[in-house]
């Protein structure tokens, strides 16, 4: 039988296999699709889209996925991901293997396939890797070619709205990368179906808490089709979704929670009667950070848009830890640096901040995004990205099997491994680096371009109708200089904005060698840009001492947080195919405190092949401390930092070296203050 020209051989065979399995009556001809070559080749430079009325205007917009290519250390980091679990997980982990329900099999059919793709798709195109693209297309082709008759898509073994919310994020990125004509019709049919179905089959549990992530995709499609039904769906999602803004307006969760406390809280009021535990769940809260800004695009309310700031303030005040995150192991866990933060919570917070940064234009969200991306994200993975933790601790003195101090998590939670505690992070962490790379530059509402976070890359986009390329050369955050070279196709006038991190008191900017006046938040340079124009940015990174839980001291310099590395003894607990589950035991003393005004000497070293590896730390801080003998550990975790620390009288003042947080897999980040 000849293969119809509109179908790839593989998709045709898949279709026939399905027809065989389900009976000829259920086999429907597939809609025309791009040839595989066309679908995976990538697209030319595209102009970004901004919301039009009746949607609210926004200061910045993410560029279409694929507009920004990593270079320098960031490209090396993406290759490390691809050479590790990121590029090989499907080869030995059955959850996303050949039997995945998201590629037509009978295996796992819920969130893991979409989670994996949410990072695999942007990674594959970042690296322009035919192998990784083919891995992604196994799922994408199946999903696009097997919609249900009623408009649903995905595995038929469940009709849960939640995993589809993740797959929609995948499809929007994939469409931006390829222009595949199958994507928007499938999304349209699905959203129309959902508009009909939600009144009788409403959002529940995870989908109810994470409605804002679907709203991003609904608005994405509305901007491309103008389909008014999508705005109706936006309002319905808001109506059925959990009221995050309301919860944080009267934030009751100010303590470390445990299962008993959760039950008690839920008994008190209507708002918390349902979804027991979900409202203080770390990943839900990470995703909720985008809820108010994204909803503001539909509501038109500036108060909605700004609500994220109060939300972050509540999290910082009651659950903030030094790596830029909040504790949640599995549930909000207070400010002690021995509490954990889940890797899913890290990457979902990053994605929320990337979206919120565009919608609010608040430069402080960029500061926070960088702090998480350059510290909390790489800390939770081994330097080769073959193993990860479920929970990371700012003060992490041992990775071993203990039930304490987690609120509700299990004893494997801070081991490095394939799927410690629960498998969600194994599938979900992949989105961290590729989406961060995609958010480094954004379009501005006044038709310009903005550097939102800093890392080496090349952006290729269209500004005021002119193709523009900007090359960014930098070892930031390990160094403080960023060099930009503009390469517009021809001279073109537009505003170029540069985010000014709040920690840099005296940033210096020159354009073609001439100084430019800086302003807090963003510095705007408006001129006619010609090919070869250069911008040099030099940040002023001083060592900063911050106070946290029990007055503990933490050290940062620029976007990097510093930690005392503890000698690590890695012990294989069990073999997991090509990787291992590891326990890590301390081999050196860690109970040290510092005076708040202690002198600190900074030294810079080459940025290693593995940029965040502790063995080749690119920056070191030398500092003298004093031992605090009474500060010990129990159940594999450092006891809470003592508020009143007694330094040892007879052990002198040891000189120690602090390294970037992510490189120290055993570490102290929050130290007792001696005075
Ligand atoms: Zn997870």
pLDDT tens-digit series, residues 570-617: 999 999 999 999 999 999 999 999 999 999 999 999 999 999 999 999
Q: Where residue 121 falls among pLDDT bands split at 50, 70, 90?
A: very high
Residues above pLDDT 90, as percent of the chain: 88
Residue 200 has which token pair?
A: 């009788």
Average pLDDT on 249-256 reads: 93
The answer to whether the peptide bond before residue 405 is cis (omega within 30 degrees of 0) is yes
Q: Where residue 19 falls among pLDDT bands split at 50, 70, 90?
A: very low
Tell me how far the alpha carbon of residue 668 lies from the centroid of ligand 1, in angstroms: 24
Tell me how far the alpha carbon of residue 341 lies from the centroid of ligand 1, in angstroms: 10
Tell me how far the alpha carbon of residue 241 lies from the centroid of ligand 1, in angstroms: 21
Tell me how far the alpha carbon of residue 498 lies from the centroid of ligand 1, in angstroms: 33
Average pLDDT on 452-459 reads: 98
Tell me how far the alpha carbon of residue 367 lies from the centroid of ligand 1, in angstroms: 24
Residue 460 CA to residue 44 CA, distance in Å, equals: 9
Average pLDDT on 272-293 reads: 85
Tell me how far the alpha carbon of residue 555 lies from the centroid of ligand 1, in angstroms: 28
Tell me how far the alpha carbon of residue 345 lies from the centroid of ligand 1, in angstroms: 7
Residue that the structure tokens 């050290």 belong to: 555
> Closest Cα to residue 161, out of 195, 118, 117?
195
Tell me how far the alpha carbon of residue 439 lies from the centroid of ligand 1, in angstroms: 22
pLDDT score of 13: 34
Residue 406 has which token pair?
A: 């987690």
Strand partners, 623: 600, 656
Give 528 or 42, the one with higher predicted confidence. Answer: 528
Q: How far apart, in Å, are the Cα atoms of 616 and each of 226, 558, 564, 585, 637?
A: 52, 19, 15, 21, 26
Check if the beta carbon of residue 250 is closer than 8 Å to that of residue 268.
no
Q: Is 203 exposed, middle or buried (0-12, 13-18, 19+ CB in 10 A)?
A: buried
Tell me how far the alpha carbon of residue 488 lies from the centroid of ligand 1, in angstroms: 42
pLDDT score of 76: 98
Least confident among 47-51, 269-273, 376-380: 269-273
pLDDT score of 34: 37
Alpha helices in 415-555 (DSSP H): 424-428, 432-438
Residue that the structure tokens 């609500």 belong to: 307
pLDDT score of 45: 77
Residue 102 CA to residue 68 CA, distance in Å, equals: 28
Return the ∠ at Cα 470 (arms to 467 and 475), rounded to 5°.
Answer: 160
Is pLDDT of 273 > 80? no
Is pLDDT of 2 > 80? no
Handedness of CA 5, 11, 15, 21 (dihedral sign): positive
Tell me how far the alpha carbon of residue 581 lies from the centroid of ligand 1, in angstroms: 16
Residue 16 has which token pair?
A: 């026939």
Tell me how far the alpha carbon of residue 520 lies from the centroid of ligand 1, in angstroms: 36
Tell me how far the alpha carbon of residue 344 lies from the centroid of ligand 1, in angstroms: 4
Q: Where residue 8 falls among pLDDT bands split at 50, 70, 90?
A: very low
Q: Where residue 268 falls among pLDDT bands split at 50, 70, 90?
A: low
Tell me how far the alpha carbon of residue 348 lies from the centroid of ligand 1, in angstroms: 10
pTM of this structure: 0.93
Residue that the structure tokens 């326990």 belong to: 583
Check if the beta carbon of residue 562 is closer than 8 Å to that of residue 546.
no
> Closest Cα to residue 463, out of 419, 384, 529, 508?
529
Q: How far apart, in Å, are the Cα atoms of 111 and each of 167, 231, 413?
A: 8, 26, 20
Tell me how far the alpha carbon of residue 422 lies from the centroid of ligand 1, in angstroms: 7
pLDDT score of 14: 39
Residue 432 CA to residue 262 CA, distance in Å, equals: 30
Is pLDDT of 10 > 70? no
Least confident among 7-11, 27-31, 302-306, 441-445: 27-31
pLDDT tens-digit series, residues 185-235 = 999 999 999 999 999 999 999 999 999 999 999 999 999 999 999 999 999
Is pLDDT of 468 > 60? yes
Tell me how far the alpha carbon of residue 419 lies from the centroid of ligand 1, in angstroms: 9
Residues 6+ apart with CB under 8 A from 65: 122, 125, 172, 173, 176, 177, 438
Tell me how far the alpha carbon of residue 255 lies from the centroid of ligand 1, in angstroms: 22
Is pLDDT of 18 > 50? no
pLDDT score of 276: 66
Tell me how far the alpha carbon of residue 440 lies from the centroid of ligand 1, in angstroms: 25
Is pLDDT of 170 > 50? yes
Tell me how far the alpha carbon of residue 434 lies from the centroid of ligand 1, in angstroms: 18
Tell me how far the alpha carbon of residue 412 lies from the centroid of ligand 1, in angstroms: 13
Q: Where residue 257 falls among pLDDT bands split at 50, 70, 90?
A: confident
Residue 135 has which token pair?
A: 């891995």
Tell me how far the alpha carbon of residue 543 lies from the centroid of ligand 1, in angstroms: 33
Tell me how far the alpha carbon of residue 672 lies from the centroid of ligand 1, in angstroms: 31
Tell me how far the alpha carbon of residue 343 lies from the centroid of ligand 1, in angstroms: 6
Tell me how far the alpha carbon of residue 424 lies from the centroid of ligand 1, in angstroms: 4
Tell me how far the alpha carbon of residue 148 lies from the centroid of ligand 1, in angstroms: 29
Is pLDDT of 6 > 70? no
pLDDT score of 32: 33
Category of 205 on φ-ψ map: left (φ > 0), alpha (ψ -120 to 50) or beta:
left
Average pLDDT on 176-180 reads: 97
Residue 210 CA to residue 529 CA, distance in Å, equals: 42
pLDDT score of 327: 98
Residue 631 has which token pair?
A: 């500060």
Average pLDDT on 77-103 reads: 98
- Which 3 state secondary structure label does DSSP give 105? coil
Give 266 or 525, the one with higher predicted confidence. Answer: 525
Tell me how far the alpha carbon of residue 56 lies from the centroid of ligand 1, in angstroms: 33
Residue 328 CA to residue 320 CA, distance in Å, equals: 10
Strand partners, 659: 563
Tell me how far the alpha carbon of residue 289 lies from the centroid of ligand 1, in angstroms: 17
Tell me how far the alpha carbon of residue 462 lies from the centroid of ligand 1, in angstroms: 37
Q: Where residue 411 falls among pLDDT bands split at 50, 70, 90?
A: very high
- Which 3 state secondary structure label does DSSP give 93? coil
Tell me how far the alpha carbon of residue 342 lies from the centroid of ligand 1, in angstroms: 6
Tell me how far the alpha carbon of residue 503 lies from the centroid of ligand 1, in angstroms: 31
Tell me how far the alpha carbon of residue 417 lies from the centroid of ligand 1, in angstroms: 13
Tell me how far the alpha carbon of residue 284 lies from the centroid of ligand 1, in angstroms: 11
Residue 162 has which token pair?
A: 């939640």
Residue 182 CA to residue 289 CA, distance in Å, equals: 31
Tell me how far the alpha carbon of residue 429 lies from the centroid of ligand 1, in angstroms: 8
Average pLDDT on 300-312 reads: 97
Residue 103 has which token pair?
A: 């590629």
Q: Where residue 5 falls among pLDDT bands split at 50, 70, 90?
A: very low
Tell me how far the alpha carbon of residue 651 lies from the centroid of ligand 1, in angstroms: 42
Tell me how far the alpha carbon of residue 339 lies from the centroid of ligand 1, in angstroms: 16
Average pLDDT, whole number, for the chain? Answer: 92
Tell me how far the alpha carbon of residue 390 lies from the centroid of ligand 1, in angstroms: 6
pLDDT score of 648: 94
CB atoms within 10 A of CB 50: 17
Tell me how far the alpha carbon of residue 162 lies from the centroid of ligand 1, in angstroms: 15
> What one-character DSSP code corresponds to residue 424?
H
Alpha helices in 301-362 (DSSP H): 302-319, 343-360
Residues above pLDDT 70, as percent of the chain: 91
Tell me how far the alpha carbon of residue 580 lies from the centroid of ligand 1, in angstroms: 18
Return the ∠ at Cα 187 (arms to 185 and 191), rounded to 5°.
Answer: 120
Tell me how far the alpha carbon of residue 468 lies from the centroid of ligand 1, in angstroms: 38
């Amino acid at each position: 039988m000849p293969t119809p020209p509109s179908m790839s051989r593989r998709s045709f065979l898949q279709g026939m296999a399905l027809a065989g399995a389900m009976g000829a009556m259920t086999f429907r001809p597939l809609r025309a699709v791009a040839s595989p070559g066309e679908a995976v080749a990538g697209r030319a430079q595209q102009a970004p889209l901004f919301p039009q009325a009746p949607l609210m205007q926004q200061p910045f917009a993410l560029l279409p996925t694929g507009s920004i290519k990593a270079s320098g250390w960031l490209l090396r980091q993406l290759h490390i991901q691809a050479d590790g679990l990121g590029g090989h997980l499907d080869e030995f982990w059955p959850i996303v293997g050949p039997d995945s329900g998201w590629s037509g099999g009978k295996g796992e059919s819920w969130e893991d396939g979409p989670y994996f793709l949410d990072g695999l798709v942007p990674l594959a195109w970042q690296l322009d890797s035919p192998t990784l693209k083919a891995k992604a297309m196994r799922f994408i082709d199946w999903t696009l070619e097997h919609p249900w008759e009623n408009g649903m898509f995905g595995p038929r073994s469940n009709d849960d709205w939640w995993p589809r919310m993740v797959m929609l994020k995948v499809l929007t990125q994939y469409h931006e990368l390829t222009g595949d004509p199958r994507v928007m019709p499938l999304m349209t049919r699905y959203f129309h179906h959902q508009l009909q179905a939600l009144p009788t089959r409403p959002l529940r549990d995870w989908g109810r808490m994470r409605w804002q992530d679907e709203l991003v995709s609904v608005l994405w499609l509305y901007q491309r089709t103008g389909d008014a039904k999508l705005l109706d769906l936006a309002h319905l999602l808001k109506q059925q979704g959990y009221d995050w803004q309301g919860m944080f307006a009267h934030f009751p969760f100010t303590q470390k929670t445990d299962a008993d406390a959760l039950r008690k809280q839920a008994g008190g009021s209507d708002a918390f009667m349902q979804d027991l535990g979900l409202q203080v769940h770390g990943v839900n809260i990470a995703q909720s950070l985008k809820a108010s800004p994204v909803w503001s695009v539909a509501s038109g309310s500036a108060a909605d848009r700004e609500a994220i700031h109060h939300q972050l303030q509540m999290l910082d005040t009651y659950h903030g830890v030094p790596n830029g995150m909040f504790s949640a192991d599995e549930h909000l866990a207070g400010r002690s640096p021995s509490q954990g933060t889940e890797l899913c919570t890290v990457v979902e917070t990053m994605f929320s901040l990337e979206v919120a940064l565009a919608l609010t234009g608040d430069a402080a969200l960029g500061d926070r995004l960088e702090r998480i991306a350059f510290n909390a994200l790489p800390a939770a993975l081994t330097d080769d990205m073959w193993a990860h933790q479920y929970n990371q601790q700012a003060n992490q003195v041992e990775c071993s099997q203990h039930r304490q101090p987690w609120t509700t998590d299990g004893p494997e939670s801070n081991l490095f491994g394939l799927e410690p505690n629960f498998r969600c992070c194994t599938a979900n962490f992949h989105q961290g680096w590729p989406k961060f790379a995609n958010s480094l530059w954004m379009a501005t509402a006044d038709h310009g371009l903005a550097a939102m976070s800093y890392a080496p890359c090349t952006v290729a986009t269209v500004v005021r109708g002119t193709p523009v390329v900007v090359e960014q050369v930098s070892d930031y955050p390990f160094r403080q200089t960023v060099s930009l070279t503009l390469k517009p196709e021809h001279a073109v006038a537009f505003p170029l904005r540069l985010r000014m991190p709040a920690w840099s008191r005296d940033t210096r900017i020159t354009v073609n060698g001439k100084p430019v006046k800086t302003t807090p938040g963003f510095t705007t340079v408006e001129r006619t840009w010609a090919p070869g124009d250069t911008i040099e940015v030099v940040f002023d990174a001083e060592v900063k001492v911050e106070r946290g839980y029990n007055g503990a001291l933490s050290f940062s310099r620029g976007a990097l947080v510093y930690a005392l590395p503890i000698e690590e003894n890695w012990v294989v607990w069990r073999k997991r195919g090509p990787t291992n589950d590891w326990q890590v035991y301390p081999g050196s003393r860690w109970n040290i405190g510092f005076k708040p005004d202690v002198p600190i000497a900074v030294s810079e070293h080459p940025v290693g092949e593995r940029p965040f590896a502790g063995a080749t730390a690119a920056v070191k801080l030398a500092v003298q401390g004093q031992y605090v003998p009474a500060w010990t550990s129990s159940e594999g975790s450092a006891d809470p930092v003592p508020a009143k620390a007694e330094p040892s009288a007879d052990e002198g003042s040891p000189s120690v070296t602090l390294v970037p947080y992510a490189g120290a897999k055993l570490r102290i980040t929050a130290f007792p203050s001696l005075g």
